[in-house]
């Protein structure tokens, strides 16, 4: 098998100090990587600093902001590597071995199209996200975290990348379900963790509203017809309960309302997945992971029931 070539892509806006730490961690990887930074309309001199300090880093600068999802899709198109490592500008590879370790994770099975790399939100706790249960088996999961994953570029582009109508949040879950529908799995990775230093510049109000909006759109765009009413009802009830619990009820109402409004104005197209993919996705979300052989057998069993 030819050696896989990695590209580390980072989308950024007005976080040049944090961005430099992310780039430094990519440069020190034991495996040589292409580094591609998409500057989404920064006004703090980000691109100028990068071109001066990191002449080997590819920088694509835009005068205005189009948002994270649009820029991640752009990065995938412009990358030259076979495997895309998407790193937030406020995250770092914790050791020089993460890229090399993750590339090896793809070798376990041809159906693996993405790797959920272990991750720690270091400013919140030392809890490991996307943890591996053990190293004796290959495990697959329902989705990956945006700042801690690697994906085959050919599979990403073939499926059209992220749905840009989502604008902000929820794109990974949607894409990973479409990966599953195409016969691919997201593997839990074995690498050293990515350290995520969540930036205080994040907009919580925006996250709340788009989070609930995109929950509604996820159900609408992906759920098989006979499961759609129940999924929409559960999404609405859970969103309202969460809003009451965290005392942000108004934001949740607004986000849910935006989701239903987009449905009514036909802004979001419906391309439902098969029942077998939907059911396996739900099972993976509930259990957290399955051995790859077990997940593949579930798909075969569900396919037989559909016939």
Q: Into how many domains does the chain fold?
A: 2
The answer, yes or no, to whether residue 203 has pLDDT greater than 80, is: no
Question: In terms of residue numbers, what domain contains 89?
Answer: 6-196
Pair (82, 129) in one structural domain: yes
**Is residue 69 assigned to a domain?**
yes
Pair (184, 224) in one structural domain: no
**Is residue 299 assigned to a domain?**
no
Pair (88, 184) in one structural domain: yes
Pair (51, 157) in one structural domain: yes
Pair (189, 117) in one structural domain: yes
Count helices and strands (H / E) in the chain: 11, 13
Q: What is the DSSP string of 229-264?
A: HHHHHHHHHHHHHHHHHTT-HHHHHHHHHHHHHHHH
CATH number at residue 183: 3.90.550.10
Q: Which residue has the tokens 């006979």?
A: 226
**Bridge partners of residue 187, in order along the sequence:** 115, 140
Pair (223, 75) in one structural domain: no
Pair (88, 105) in one structural domain: yes
**Is residue 296 assigned to a domain?**
no
DSSP reduced 3-state for 219: helix
Pair (48, 182) in one structural domain: yes
Distance CA 25, CA 250 (A): 40
Pair (87, 191) in one structural domain: yes
Q: Two tokens at 227?
A: 């499961």
**Is residue 96 assigned to a domain?**
yes
Q: Two tokens at 198?
A: 């969540």
54, 53, 45: which is closest to 15 by C-alpha?
45
User: Each residue of 245-302: pLDDT tens digit?
Assistant: 999 999 999 999 999 999 998 877 899 999 999 999 999 999 999 999 999 998 888 7
Pair (20, 166) in one structural domain: yes
Pair (187, 208) in one structural domain: no
Pair (175, 26) in one structural domain: yes
**Is residue 300 assigned to a domain?**
no
User: Each residue of 113-128: pLDDT tens digit?
Assistant: 999 999 999 999 999 9
**Is residue 289 assigned to a domain?**
no
User: Each residue of 142-163: pLDDT tens digit?
Assistant: 999 999 999 999 999 999 999 9
């Amino acid at each position: 098998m030819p050696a896989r070539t990695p590209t580390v892509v980072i989308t950024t806006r007005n976080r040049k100090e944090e961005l430099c730490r992310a780039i430094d961690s990519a440069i020190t990887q034991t495996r040589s990587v292409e580094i591609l930074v998409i500057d989404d309309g920064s006004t703090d001199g980000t691109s100028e600093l990068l071109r001066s300090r990191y002449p080997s880093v590819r920088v694509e600068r835009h005068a205005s902001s189009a948002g994270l999802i649009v820029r991640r899709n752009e990065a995938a198109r412009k990358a030259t590597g076979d495997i895309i490592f998407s790193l937030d500008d406020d995250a770092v590879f914790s050791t020089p071995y993460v890229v090399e370790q993750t590339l090896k994770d793809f070798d376990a099975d041809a159906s693996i199209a993405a790797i959920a790399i272990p991750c720690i939100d270091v400013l919140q706790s030392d809890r490991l996200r996307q943890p591996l249960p053990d190293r004796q088996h290959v495990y697959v999961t329902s989705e990956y975290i945006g700042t801690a994953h690697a994906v085959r570029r050919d599979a990403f582009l073939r499926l059209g990348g992220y749905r840009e109508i989502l604008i902000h949040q929820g794109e990974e879950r949607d894409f990973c379900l479409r990966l599953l529908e195409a016969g691919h799995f997201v593997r839990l990775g074995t690498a050293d963790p990515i350290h995520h230093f969540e930036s205080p510049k994040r907009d919580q109000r925006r996250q709340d509203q788009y989070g609930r909006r995109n929950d509604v759109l996820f159900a609408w765009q992906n759920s098989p017809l006979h499961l759609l009413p129940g999924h929409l009802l559960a999404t609405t009830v859970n969103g309202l309960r969460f809003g009451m619990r965290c005392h942000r009820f108004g934001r949740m109402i607004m986000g849910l309302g935006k989701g239903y409004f987009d449905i009514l104005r036909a802004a979001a197209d419906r391309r439902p997945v098969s029942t077998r993919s939907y059911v396996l996705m739900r099972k993976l979300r509930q259990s957290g992971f399955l051995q790859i052989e077990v997940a593949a057998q579930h798909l075969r069993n569900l396919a037989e029931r559909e016939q």
